[in-house]
Amino acid sequence: MGTTRIKVIDLSSQEQEIKTSRKHAEKLTGAAKLKEEKKPATEKIAQPKTEIPEEKIAPVEGAAKSSVAKNIKTVKAGTTKKPTQKAHSKKYQEASKLIDKLKAYLAKEALDLLSKTSTTRFDPTVEVHLNVNDKNLKGRVNFPHSIGAKKEKRYLVFSEKKTEGTKNVTWGNQNSIAELESGKLKPGRDFDAVISTPKFMPQLAKVAKILGPRGMMPNPKAGNITDDPAKILSQKDDGYCEFKTDPTAPIIHTKIGKLSAKQEALEENLKALIAAIGPTKIKKAIIKSTMSPAIKLDPSSFSKLTA
């Protein structure tokens, strides 16, 4: 008898026939005989299957392309793009070139640079940002020059004497404290600031939890505890500014005027702000106008500025 030869057909391949080795063919015939013995004669004998080495199997046309395409899609879907930072305008970049980022400027030098580095068409506000060494620093400064139009404040004044002819003033008493506790009188809605004489301070301690979080609790540092409330009420409100540190960091953000003001006026306002805070409490300082690059100030020169 001759050697049995078997033709193996791979339906996924373009080749119709693939030749196998002799040993491989013998294994296949042996497997087929075993299946014939086990199955009844009436049943159809299944065609033997074999594993063919990958290098001999021709890939189905289009299969490779589809698998590669799927892989590419999954990679694209899995990748996360980093948010791109918005680039500054050309005018901003040109203004930044005028500032030496490694230098800490004196007040006069920095104020002179502000007009050269402004990037806006409108009259911007001059901002000052200070890093201080006290987390709970707050107070009030009386600027010698106006810092711009401000909304008129409404005052709640606790005093034994009432001053006639005062505008935007609510005179407080024992009933006012009860109204604060009940919510009938609310800070921010009915008044913007509180002034008190020392005599009323023990009674105001009852509503410290209401006024304190809003920054309206009278205290000596803010200058709103006085025996003469009429003096504070008679002063121009456009020159006064309250400052305090951020709730999460020892940083003070405030303003000292408009850029259109004279440089001498801005310098005097900056001097008044530093004097009110205390030169030794300031660790870092930055000055800038609205939408312009920041200019570092030299904190070591503040003591001479306020002298």
Residue 196 is inside which H or E element, if any?
A: strand 193-196
Fold of 151-235: Rossmann fold (3.40.50)
Each residue's pLDDT tens digit, 269-296: 999 999 999 999 999 999 999 999 999 9
* CB contact burial 110-149 (16+ within 10 A = b; e otherwise): bbebbeebbbeeeebbbbbebbbeeeebebbbebebebee
Positive or negative, the CA dihedral 20, 25, 29, 32 is negative
| pLDDT in the model for residue 117 | 93
Helices (H) and strands (E) in the chain, counts: 10, 9
129: phi then psi, degrees, rounded to nearest 5: -125, 120
- In the structure encoding, which two tokens stand for residue 69, read together? 């395409």
Q: How many CB atoms lie within 10 A of CB 9?
A: 10
Contact 113, 293 (CB under 8 A): no
The more confident residue out of 200 and 2 is: 200
Q: Which architecture characterizes domain 88-137+245-307 according to CATH?
A: 2-Layer Sandwich (3.30)
The more confident residue out of 33 and 296 is: 296
Q: Is the pLDDT of residue 232 over 50?
A: yes
Contact 242, 140 (CB under 8 A): yes
Q: Is the pLDDT of residue 86 over 70?
A: no
| pLDDT in the model for residue 63 | 47
Each residue's pLDDT tens digit, 140-195: 888 988 887 666 788 999 998 887 767 789 999 989 999 999 999 999 899 988 99
**Torsion, Cα of 268, 271, 277, 283 (10° steps):** 140
| pLDDT in the model for residue 58 | 47
Name beta bridge partners: 103. none
Give whole-number Cα distances, 156 to 223, 224, 231, 242, in Å. 15, 11, 15, 16
243: phi then psi, degrees, rounded to nearest 5: -130, 150
| pLDDT in the model for residue 56 | 46
Query: Residue 7: which residues within 8 A CB-CB, separation 6 or more?
Result: 17, 18
Q: Give the mean model confidence (pLDDT) for residues 119-136.
A: 92
Residues of the chain above pLDDT 90, percent: 41
| All CATH 3.30.190.20 domain ranges in the chain, comma separated | 88-137+245-307
| pLDDT in the model for residue 10 | 54
Q: Name the nearest CA neighbour of 273 among 284, 282, 264.
A: 282
| All CATH 3.40.50.790 domain ranges in the chain, comma separated | 151-235
Q: Is the pLDDT of residue 108 over 70?
A: yes
Confidence class for position 224, pLDDT limits 50, 70, 90: confident
| pLDDT in the model for residue 237 | 58
Cα–Cα dist 7/269, whole Å: 100
| pLDDT in the model for residue 57 | 45
- Poorest-confidence range of 17-26, 136-145, 182-191, 246-255? 17-26
- Poorest-confidence range of 76-90, 92-106, 153-167, 230-244? 76-90
- In the structure encoding, which two tokens stand for residue 260, read together? 């259109």
Q: Is the pLDDT of residue 74 over 50?
A: no
